[in-house]
């Protein structure tokens, strides 16, 4: 009996051991399934990230190529414009010499013989530009200093809105106001027979250049670090000494950039000066005389010319001179800006 009981116990233990084996196997299988699921999710997320990276790289590549193509197209368009301008302007010198064009003191395309001297137009442009600079630069820089350093926040906001509004006024509207209001004031103030003078054009062009000068100069002064003001005031400088001896020299590069943009606006303005300067193609000796600019000449005479005539080609030659003048001004502006930046460093 004892031997039978021992055998039965052994059989039970073996049976219990056989029952435990499949349970352990099932537990391992569940863990394997969980690991497999984690691997699958990791692989899926990895594949998604690879696809997303590929899409991002592809989109960046396409955008870079589009920007590159657009840049090349813009450069080609500018080059074609310059080539067309030069080709059409140089054709004038088949009928007259370059010296006669550059040193001629008479512009009379309807006379016999025709005369295409560019000196009256260049001087008219320079007179109006100089007058506009003398008026707009002090007012513009002073207004920028007041807005950025002196005016209260509410006043500053109102003035900025007004300046943006002034920049949105069309030049035709300003020209109309110049004809109706400003020309009469110039005529009565200086006892002239006509108020359509270079001074009238200079005042209006200065008014149109003010928003650009004020906005750029204000941004340049506002962008300066606060440490400049704090250090100057800590050393005992007054508020105005800080402005004129610290802030304005430190922001000189931005102020010069704003002035140069204003000069570019003055040189390139067409409609306003066409309406209020009298359009007399003669050599002016003062701002109280009438005159004509290069842009006004091109705008007023291009529609009345015969294509491929000497008059037609002379207007393109005037455009070449205007292009050279603006290029020289830009080169001078870059040189001054570089010197100002080196001095600031």
Query: For residue 141, what is the domain's CATH number?
Result: 1.10.3720.10
As given in the structure block, the two tokens for residue 194 are 């006509």
Burial code of 172-197, b = ≥16 C-beta within 10 A, e = fewer? Answer: eebbebbeeebbeebbeeeebeebbb
> Among 36-40, 101-105, 112-116, whose mean pLDDT is lowest?
36-40
Q: 232: pLDDT confidence band, cut at 50, 70 and 90? A: confident
Q: Which of 104, 102, 131 is nearest to 206 (CA)?
A: 131
Helix (H) or strand (E) holding 116: strand 115-116
In a domain, 13, yes or no: no
Q: 282: pLDDT confidence band, cut at 50, 70 and 90? A: confident
Select, from the ranges 95-109, 201-215, 228-242, 248-262, the one with the highest average predicted confidence (pLDDT).
Answer: 201-215
Residues 70 and 109 in one domain: no
Distance CA 211, CA 147 (A): 13
Q: 36: pLDDT confidence band, cut at 50, 70 and 90? A: low
Cα 267 from chain centroid?
16
Q: What is the mean pLDDT of residues 309-333?
A: 87
pTM over 0.85: no
Residues 69 and 187 in one domain: no
Residues 216 and 323 in one domain: yes
Predicted local confidence at residue 122, as pLDDT = 92
In a domain, 112, yes or no: yes
Residues 256 and 139 in one domain: yes
Give the domain range for residue 43.
33-91
Residues 69 and 196 in one domain: no
Q: What is the mean pLDDT of residues 329-333?
A: 81
The residue among 91, 109, 125 that closes a domain is 91
pLDDT at 87 over 50: yes
What total of structural domains would you count in the chain?
A: 2
In a domain, 7, yes or no: no
Q: Between 60 and 200, whose confidence is greater?
A: 200
Distance CA 227, CA 173 (A): 44
Predicted local confidence at residue 337, as pLDDT = 73
Predicted local confidence at residue 39, as pLDDT = 62
Residues 80 and 111 in one domain: no
The residue among 91, 109, 132 that closes a domain is 91
Q: 134: pLDDT confidence band, cut at 50, 70 and 90? A: very high
Predicted local confidence at residue 26, as pLDDT = 47
Q: Between 261 and 17, whose confidence is greater?
A: 261
Q: What is the mean pLDDT of residues 121-141?
A: 92
Q: How large a percentage of the chain has pLDDT more than 70? A: 83
Q: Does 113 sit behind a cis peptide bond, omega within 30 degrees of 0 on the bond before it?
A: yes
- Whether 199 contacts 131, CB under 8 Å: yes
In a domain, 113, yes or no: yes
DSSP single-letter state for residue 107: E
Residues 163 and 309 in one domain: yes
Q: Between 172 and 111, whose confidence is greater?
A: 172
Residues 143 and 257 in one domain: yes
- CA quadruple 72, 78, 81, 83: dihedral positive or negative? negative
In a domain, 273, yes or no: yes
Q: What is the mean pLDDT of residues 236-251?
A: 86
Q: 341: pLDDT confidence band, cut at 50, 70 and 90? A: low
Predicted local confidence at residue 4, as pLDDT = 46
As given in the structure block, the two tokens for residue 10 are 């052994």
In a domain, 56, yes or no: yes
pLDDT at 312 over 70: yes
How many other CB atoms are there within 10 angstroms of residue 119's CB atom?
15
Distances (CA, A) of 74 to 80, 289, 316: 10, 41, 22
In a domain, 155, yes or no: yes
Q: 151: pLDDT confidence band, cut at 50, 70 and 90? A: confident
Residues 237 and 298 in one domain: yes
Angle, CA 245 vertex, CA 239 and CA 250 arms, to 5°: 110
Q: What is the mean pLDDT of residues 121-133?
A: 92
In a domain, 6, yes or no: no
Distance CA 158, CA 112 (A): 57
Residues 307 and 261 in one domain: yes
pLDDT at 117 over 60: yes
pLDDT at 336 over 70: yes
DSSP single-letter state for residue 46: H
The residue among 91, 110, 125 that closes a domain is 91
> Among 154-168, 226-240, 309-323, 326-340, whose mean pLDDT is lowest?
326-340
pLDDT at 2 over 50: no
Residues 210 and 179 in one domain: yes
Predicted local confidence at residue 344, as pLDDT = 54
Residues 61 and 184 in one domain: no
Q: Which of 114, 118, 125, 88 is nearest to 102 (CA)?
A: 118
Q: Between 25 and 343, whose confidence is greater?
A: 343
pLDDT tens for residues 5-23? 445 454 444 444 444 444 4
Predicted local confidence at residue 111, as pLDDT = 80
């Amino acid at each position: 009996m004892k031997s039978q009981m021992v055998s039965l116990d052994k059989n039970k233990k073996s049976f219990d051991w056989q029952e435990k084996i499949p349970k352990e196997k099932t537990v391992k299988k569940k863990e394997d399934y969980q690991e497999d699921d984690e691997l699958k999710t990791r692989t899926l997320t990895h594949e998604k990230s690879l696809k997303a990276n590929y899409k991002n790289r592809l989109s960046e590549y396409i955008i870079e190529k589009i920007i590159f193509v657009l840049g090349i197209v813009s450069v080609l368009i500018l080059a074609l414009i310059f080539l067309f301008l030069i080709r059409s302007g140089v054709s004038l010198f088949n009928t007259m010499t370059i010296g006669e064009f550059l040193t001629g003191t008479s512009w009379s395309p309807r006379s016999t013989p025709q005369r295409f001297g560019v000196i009256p137009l260049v001087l008219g442009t320079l007179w109006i530009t100089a007058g506009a600079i003398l008026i707009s630069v002090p007012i513009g820089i002073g207004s920028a200093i007041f807005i950025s350093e002196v005016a209260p926040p509410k006043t500053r906001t109102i003035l900025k809105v007004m300046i943006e509004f002034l920049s949105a006024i069309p030049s035709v509207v300003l020209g109309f106001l110049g004809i109706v209001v400003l020309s009469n004031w110039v005529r009565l103030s200086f006892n002239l027979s006509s108020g359509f003078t270079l001074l009238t054009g200079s005042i209006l062009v200065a008014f149109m250049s003010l928003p650009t000068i004020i906005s750029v100069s204000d941004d340049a002064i506002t962008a300066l670090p606060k440490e400049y003001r704090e250090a100057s005031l800590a050393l005992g400088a007054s508020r105005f000494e800080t402005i004129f001896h610290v802030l304005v020299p430190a922001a000189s590069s931005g102020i010069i950039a704003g002035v140069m943009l204003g000069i570019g606006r003055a040189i390139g303005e067409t409609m306003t000066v066409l309406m209020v300067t009298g359009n007399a193609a003669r050599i002016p000796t003062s701002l109280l005389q009438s005159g004509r600019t290069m842009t006004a000449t091109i705008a007023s005479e291009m529609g009345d010319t015969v294509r491929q005539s000497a008059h037609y080609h002379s207007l393109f030659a005037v455009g070449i001179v205007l292009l050279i003048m603006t290029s020289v001004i830009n080169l001078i502006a870059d040189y001054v800006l570089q010197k100002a930046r080196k001095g600031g460093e």
